[in-house]
Structure 1
Amino acid sequence: MSESARPRPAAGGRFARQTDQARAVAEKYAQQTDAAAEFPVAVLDELRAGGLLGLMVPTEYGGLGGTLDELLDVSIALGRTDLSAALIFAMHCQQVACVVTHAAPPLAEELLPQIAAGRMYLASVTTEPGKGGHLLTAGAQLSAEEGRSGHLELDRFAPIVTGGAYADGFLISMRAPEAPSADAVSLVFARRDQLEITASGEWDPLGMRASHSVALRLTGSIPGHQVVGEHGEFRAVVLQTLGPLAHLGWSACWLGTAAGALSRVLRMLRESARGKDGKDGRLESELLLSRLSRARQRLDTVHALLRHTAAVVTAAAEGGTDVSLPRNQLLINSLKLTASEECHRAVEDLIDAVGLRHGYLRNSPTRLEKALRDLRSAPLNYSNDRLHQADGVLALLDAGVSFA
């Protein structure tokens, strides 16, 4: 059975069985959801049933109590099969971590058991017309609902909401009530049944087609206790939790996709080199071997940076130190920049290595064409140009060039 038909086992660990089951479902539907630009509903159903939606929920709320490294393990494994499915999972887990870390007890006690039970898939609403991907400002403003004490009224349009049409709840960034400044941003939770949701436009992208990141307008009213963190303090949520987990989770998904592509190419080459007598032949092309080496080097580099960054973020959380220090933020941003570029380049190396038939055609078992399309979005998913500008400022703040 070929690699395209048989997912390799997930990395060992506490959640290998659930991860393998989710990968098997993703493998079954990946071609269909990519071709039709459909959200992978069957994969989400398996994530619900297997408990992986509650991976980051503490055990006292009924969740799996997973660690950051375990989140990365599952994201890499899903990415090997389908990048869209992997990013849907990883981005949900980023939202869950924000609730775990920043929500006050009333909201946490209400929401986390629902997530643990698989009843609450969370989508992120942070994009807004006119501001690009800038997280720390907001135009649309929360307001007190007339006649209902403590309730907040929201009217929010977002041009891109990954999986939003299928979400059970949303974490939404908006300008804080009565705040005069666009940088006084709040993060609020809203259940689907608290909102009127209107989708607009079409979703027919080059890659990441199954992420179904359509434009949504969300209007409705929520109780005041559904704010995550303090009003106007979304910046703290981003610096301490959302930003680090976004870059770590995305990078793990991209790494998984490039690793899956390399694995399929290697299996194909070994099978094609096998002689009629069942013995392995030799692959002697120096150019081929060099390109395989370069692709593997890129992935090992990303993996090392991913694990180092995860260790720094985990140590900061456990030790109560500030992950937003310039040296830490530079490392976190460097991971995103490096992973988004090197994983895409690794797949380009593989396409050059195996040529037109197996590197460029959609029906090749290597699926390099799909991996290339999907990974092309990585530098655009929070623009690398914007990150480099931010890193230039951070570099000036760390004149001693200290390392995390």
Structure 2
Amino acid sequence: MTRPAFIHVQHLLGTGHTLRAAAIGRALAARGVSVTLATGNSLPPLLDTSGLDIVELPPVRAQDARFKTFLTPDGREIDEAWKAARTRATLQAFQAQPYDLLLTETWPFGRRPFAFEMQALVDTAKALPRPPLMASSIRDILVRKQELRKEEEMAERALAAYDIVLVHSDPSFIRLEDSFPFTERVSHLLRYTGFAETGTGGADAPGEDGRDEVIVSCGGGAVGIELLKAALEAPALSRLAGDCRWRLLAGHDIDQESFSALAAQGGETVIVERARRDFPSLLARARLSVSQAGYNTVLDILRSGVPSVLVPFAQIKETEQQQRADALVRHGRAVAVPEKGLTPEALAKAADDALRLPRRDIPVRFGGAETAAEILVDALEARR
């Protein structure tokens, strides 16, 4: 008997949320679950959606890291009419058939500006004669709020409606209480899955691509342009990495004009190209990784064992990547450089420092998407 599942995801700047939600969806589909993935933004071009029924909600993105202004694809700020239309579209998609599982990515532990939509979705689900299993999917680290009451409200919403909270982390490495002060209240809901790989890696990189290179990446989203700019000049300043090729990978959401300007400054020793599906293969061959500290990138770094320089995205009130970078630094696995005031000189020095670190593997649990699917399928079976 088919067990339909509805997954809701909204990415605003980076694409990691959607990559992770799709990975869980694919793992559920592999276990016989019929999965609908409702996405609130344009899907990343490299995303594997095999086995998923995609519902494209009216798309929206954040203007910047303040997460205060949200724009439609044509640059218009969303208003009350847009919010009403978005909510109608979400509820229409959810009510298209009975679902045994509702999985919300991040909510209720984030996406507060979208409470108009998410609370309506949750309330609609809970009001059904036979409510679905309610699960939330969150990464290893939550972004801290300046007002404690907002974090307490997250816990209250989880307690009021949810059966399971999937935490995609290894608790021996990073625990939810490291970033969420009300963890104890929801502890009976938590299920640690291990880190969830997103399945973006394709075949091996062609030829000698990546071999003994410095791979500079900023994820698949629209941020990280300053890191790429600094990396254009850093090779000439590095003692231990100045003799190899630097390959700069720009996210697909970085606009074409900015990308072209970067590419025009490249050459034989500094290659500028778009983010690649074979990124994990490039890292496995590389001398050094230089990147932000996003969830998916850090997993690829840990998997490959490559020395690492981390420049955590830390604009405005963002704290998540800094905490993740700090964890790798504590384990002697990376060198971290502040994003603010980043210079080619600082980046070159960090590259040299990282290459002096002893090679060290950190034993962490992976397979989080598959484990999440097993947890959810077992819970669905128990409800029968």
Pick the structure with more strand per residue.
2
What TM-score results when the alignment is normalised by the length of structure 1? 0.26
What TM-score results when the alignment is normalised by the length of structure 2? 0.27
Pick the structure with more helix per residue.
1
